[in-house]
């Protein structure tokens, strides 16, 4: 029986089986090839997408808008200042109205329960473009980039360096567990992922042969790594913690010395962007030959388009 995701929301990779994630990555590869070939497709003709953002973005917003628009659909951007999202109106009321106006909703904001509430009450597919807990569309783009470079995902060693309990690190760990990667979260113990999530991912790993490691030793973490990944040291909403984070995370900066500790010439560097060059990564690494961050950024669009194709058609 084939994979059928029609009508399903995309809130966290915990909700998706390995073959479903594989299906999304395969569609993404196909639509990227279409785009490169200059093909015009109109899969979303007559459909509408509400894009609701509490947090600003470059890649997530442009990926959703261009992916939906290229397919003939009509995306409508709504900031928190444009609608009554939990202000003067219950979330469930907003969700039920949007569910009658639109075919799908993309949300980017703070609380995971907000995107879950939209999905529960709207009755249409809802896509998580980032919450404080998870960033699942990003991980599809990351995996697509790794696969394009190495030809496969299973068994690849992916090291996340820095704030190892942020939304990207959480979702990378879940995705790695689902798809059979060797994932290492490396950071100071104060910023390790929750024991509950680590336990859940290790349980998933039992059926996929994935490996989940948590460490505070950068040199040990990156040995033989296929990919080294980092993110900003203070996520959106945590800017007041930046000074203490710089002191705490300086030993986890991705620099050329760290890249060379992999003992491999083909290790790639990944970053979800935006990057603060000189903090979590040095300019020579992110601008260097091992960096794949802009391929990764482009793949946000193709993977987001894939999610919408799989869930709307």
Burial of 232 (0-12, 13-18, 19+ CB in 10 A): buried
Cis peptide leading into residue 93 (ω within 30°) = no
Q: Name the binding residues for carbamoyl phosphate.
A: 57-60, 108, 135-138, 272-273, 300
Q: Choosing from 156, 271, 292, 300, which is the catalytic residue?
A: 300
> What distance lies between CA 97 and its chain's CA centroid?
28
Note if 245 is an active site residue. no
Q: Choosing from 138, 201, 253, 292, which is the catalytic residue?
A: 138
**CA angle (42 as vertex; 41, 44 as ends), nearest 5:** 135
Q: Choosing from 163, 186, 231, 271, which is the catalytic residue?
A: 231
Q: Choosing from 61, 135, 156, 182, which is the catalytic residue?
A: 135
Q: Name the binding residues for L-ornithine.
A: 167, 231, 235-236
Note if 108 is an active site residue. yes
Note if 231 is an active site residue. yes
Note if 135 is an active site residue. yes
For tokens 């590869």, name the residue. 29
Q: Choosing from 272, 290, 292, 302, which is the catalytic residue?
A: 272
Q: Name the binding residues.
A: 57-60, 108, 135-138, 167, 231, 235-236, 272-273, 300
Burial 42-60 (b: 16+ CB within 10 A, else e): ebbeebbbbbbbbbebebb
Measure Cα distances from 123 to 28, 85, 191, 310 in Å: 25, 17, 36, 16
Q: Choosing from 61, 108, 271, 292, which is the catalytic residue?
A: 108
DSSP H helix total and E strand total for the chain? 12, 9
Note if 201 is an active site residue. no
Sheet with 48-53: strands ordered across: 74-79, 48-53, 104-108, 126-128
Q: Count CA atoms within 13 Å of residue 247 on its CB side.
A: 3
Catalytic residues: 108, 135, 138, 231, 272, 300
């Amino acid at each position: 029986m084939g994979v059928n995701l029609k009508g399903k929301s995309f809130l966290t990779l915990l909700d998706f089986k390995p073959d479903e994630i594989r299906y999304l990555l395969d569609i993404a590869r196909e639509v990227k090839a279409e785009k490169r070939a200059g093909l015009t497709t109109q899969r979303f003709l007559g459909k509408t997408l509400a894009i609701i953002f509490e947090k600003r973005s470059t890649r997530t917003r442009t990926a959703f808008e261009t992916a939906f628009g290229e397919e003939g659909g009509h995306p409508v951007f709504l900031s928190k200042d444009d609608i009554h999202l939990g202000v003067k109106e219950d979330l469930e009321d907003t969700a039920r109205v949007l569910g009658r106006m639109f075919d799908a909703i993309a949300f980017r904001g703070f609380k995971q329960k907000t995107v879950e509430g939209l999905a529960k009450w709207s009755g249409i597919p809802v896509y998580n473009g980032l919450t404080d807990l998870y960033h699942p569309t990003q991980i599809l783009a990351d995996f697509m980039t790794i696969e394009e470079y190495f030809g496969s995902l299973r068994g690849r060693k992916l090291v996340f360096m820095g704030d190892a309990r942020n939304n990207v690190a959480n979702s990378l760990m879940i995705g790695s567990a689902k798809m059979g990667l060797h994932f290492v979260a490396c950071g100071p113990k104060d910023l390790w992922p929750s024991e509950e999530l680590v336990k859940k991912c290790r349980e998933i790993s039992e059926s996929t042969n994935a490996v989940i490691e948590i460490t505070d030793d950068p040199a040990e973490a990156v040995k033989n790594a296929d990919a080294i990944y980092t993110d900003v040291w203070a996520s959106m909403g945590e800017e007041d913690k930046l000074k203490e984070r710089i002191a705490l995370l300086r030993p986890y900066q991705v620099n050329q010395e760290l890249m060379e500790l992999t003992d491999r010439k083909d290790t790639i560097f990944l970053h979800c962007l935006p990057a603060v060059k000189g903090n979590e990564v040095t300019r020579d690494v992110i601008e260097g030959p091992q960096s794949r961050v802009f391929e990764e950024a482009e793949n946000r669009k193709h993977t987001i388009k894939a999610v919408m194709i799989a869930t709307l058609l």
